[in-house]
Structure 1
Amino acid sequence: MRSHSLRLSLASLFGLLACTATAAPQTVPDTLDQRLLACATCHARVDARGNPVNDSFYPRLGGKPAGYLYHQLINFRDGRRQYPVMTYLVDHLPDDYLKEIGRHFAAQPPTVLPAQSSGLSAAVLQRGRQLVHDGDAARKIPACIACHGARLTGVQPNIPGLVGLPRDYVNAQFGAWRNKVRRAHAPDCMAEITARLSLDDVAAVSGWLAAQPMPADPRPAESITRPLPMACGSDPEAR
């Protein structure tokens, strides 16, 4: 009886294995959406349960100008920006594919993020607003809006928006420019501007920007008055 039961169990097991072996493998679609799911690990707005993902230090990608995204991927690949994970992901990707990735995310709707309370004094916030809207002519610091647009949502095809970014992220990018771990094609206008800003200036700008609500239409502007106040190597139209 025991032997008969064992034979039945083994027959069932072999039958299951045979069915498994002959079952069609799951087909994963070879699409750009599928390939770029890995980006959502850091750059997604929320996870599967609706919880915020890395809101402090990882920017959302949807709706950013395609040229800007492409240049950042190039900068990671070619060593102008230092972040090992990003460098590993793009190290062997050709220019045309990086352009395709940039266009993919640019075609998505921008993420509308809420304004953040900075806890800074009114005087510091006013200093931040002054630098953003007027700059500081005495120190040759141009206004942020002169390049990033009057609504600070960026300009097609190469200039990113500044509103809707977490304060910690903005501070981290200024720190990266100051420490030369973030660079761009020469002339590196943001590195030059960062060198002219004090740490108090950086805190004022990042605090004021983070406290601003995003406009009803958060898409980048189509154009801006040129020439820009400084030559920027990452914006070919300004070279």
Structure 2
Amino acid sequence: MPSSLFVRALVVLLACLGGAGPVAAQEPATAHQGFGPDMAPRVAACTACHGREGQATRTGYFPRIAGKPAGYLYEQLRSFRDGRRTQPAMQHLLSNLSDAYLREMAAYFAAQQHPYPAPPPSDLSAELLARGRALVLEGDAARGLPACASCHGAALTGVEPGVPGLLGLPRLYIASQLGAWLTGERRALAPDCMAEVGRQLNATDIQAVAGWLALQPMPADARAVAAHPLPRPCSASTAGALP
């Protein structure tokens, strides 16, 4: 994380812990989707990087967390807190929070359903984008690579309770996370499906997949689907999905 954003997140966190008024002024304490008026100030440190109500910012890196499945968000919060995912600001913010608190945070952001902005234009070649499309929707049987859609849903909007959608994320972020699976920097609870997939990707695969996904518009119904219609290619844990 850029140092200025790290400092900003810490400042917001300290203000929240101290009950300072300015945070409430920046993030109005209003009830959202059945949550009490205290929730917005409690998650203000998250929104410093992830945007108001988790809708993401224009930095081009931090992912949108609004509307992601609650089970997925909870497992990611636990992974940061417990060291399976490494990011200094996230680990600092979550280090002393209980499972119950993390569940509340996850449920709050999962309940935030907001329109998505149009995807940015791409500077990648048509050939590279076609390769990305093929890997996402069809996989590569010769290399033992399952299609992203086989786990993340045919519409790529995710599957309840723990598989996130892949659309509406910055290209840089998608590429960095795929790279983290490839290098082993990112880990998940066993069975770690994404680690198996990541080890088979190369730099061109990652660029192609990230570029194609970032270019796709969000469907009218952006919610995660209730269940997979077919068996998934591997039994991934809820901590093992991409974003």
Q: What TM-score range do you get, normalising by the shorter chain?
A: 0.7 to 0.9
Q: Contact 2:67–2:110 (CA<8 Å) still a contact in 1?
A: yes
- For the Cα contact (< 8 Å) 2:76–2:239, is it kept in 1? no
Tell me if 1:107 matches 2:111.
yes
For 2:21 and 2:110, the matched residues in 1 are separated by 30
Percent identity between the two aligned chains: 49
Aligned AA for 2:90?
A: M
**Alignment-derived partner of residue 34 in structure 1:** 41
* TM-score with structure 2 setting the length: 0.79
Unaligned runs of 5+ in 1: 1-24, 47-51
The reply to whether residue 71 of structure 1 matches residue 55 of structure 2 is no
Following superposition, the deviation at residue 26 of structure 1 comes to 6.7
| Aligned counterpart in structure 1 of residue 51 of structure 2, from 41, 44, 54 | 44
User: Are 1:110 and 1:219, in contact at CA under 8 Å, matched by a contact in 2?
Assistant: no
Question: One-letter code of the match for 2:167?
Answer: V
Matched, 1:181 2:188: no
The reply to whether residue 56 of structure 1 matches residue 66 of structure 2 is: no
Q: Does 1:161 align with 2:168?
A: no
| 8 Å Cα contact 2:182-2:195 kept in structure 1 | yes
Cα distance in structure 1, aligned partners of 2:21 and 2:188: 42
Q: Aligned equivalents of 1:26 and 1:95: distance in 2?
A: 27
2: distance between equivalents of 1:192 and 1:33?
A: 38
CA distance in 2, matches of 1:115, 1:207: 11
Q: Which moved more, 1:134-143 or 1:178-187?
A: 178-187
Structure 1 residue 45 displacement after superposition: 5.6
- Structure 1 pair 37/142, CA: closer, same or farther in 2 (3 Å)? same
Deviation at 1:73, TM superposition (A): 0.3
Q: Show CA shifts across 1:155-179 (max 9, x none).
A: 1110000011110110111122222
Q: Are 2:200 and 1:193 equivalent residues in the alignment?
A: no
- Can you list the C-alpha shifts for 1:65-94, whole angstroms capped at 9, x where unaligned? 000000000000110000011011111111
**AA matched with 2:105:** I
- 1:144 counterpart residue number: 148
Return the alpha-carbon distance in structure 1 between the equivalents of residues 135 and 90 of structure 2.
31
RMSD in angstroms over aligned alpha carbons? 2.3
CA displacement, residues 167-210 of structure 1 (integer Å, 9 cap, x when unaligned): 01101111222222211111211111011111111111111111
Deviation per CA, 1:89-145, whole angstroms, max 9, x where unpaired? 111111111111100100111450322222122111111111111100111100111
Task: Give the distance between the partners of 2:214 and 2:21, measured in 1 at CA.
Answer: 44
**Helix, strand or coil at the partner of 2:185:** coil
* Aligned partner letter, 1:36: V
Q: Secondary structure at the match of 1:191?
A: helix
TM-score by length of 1: 0.80
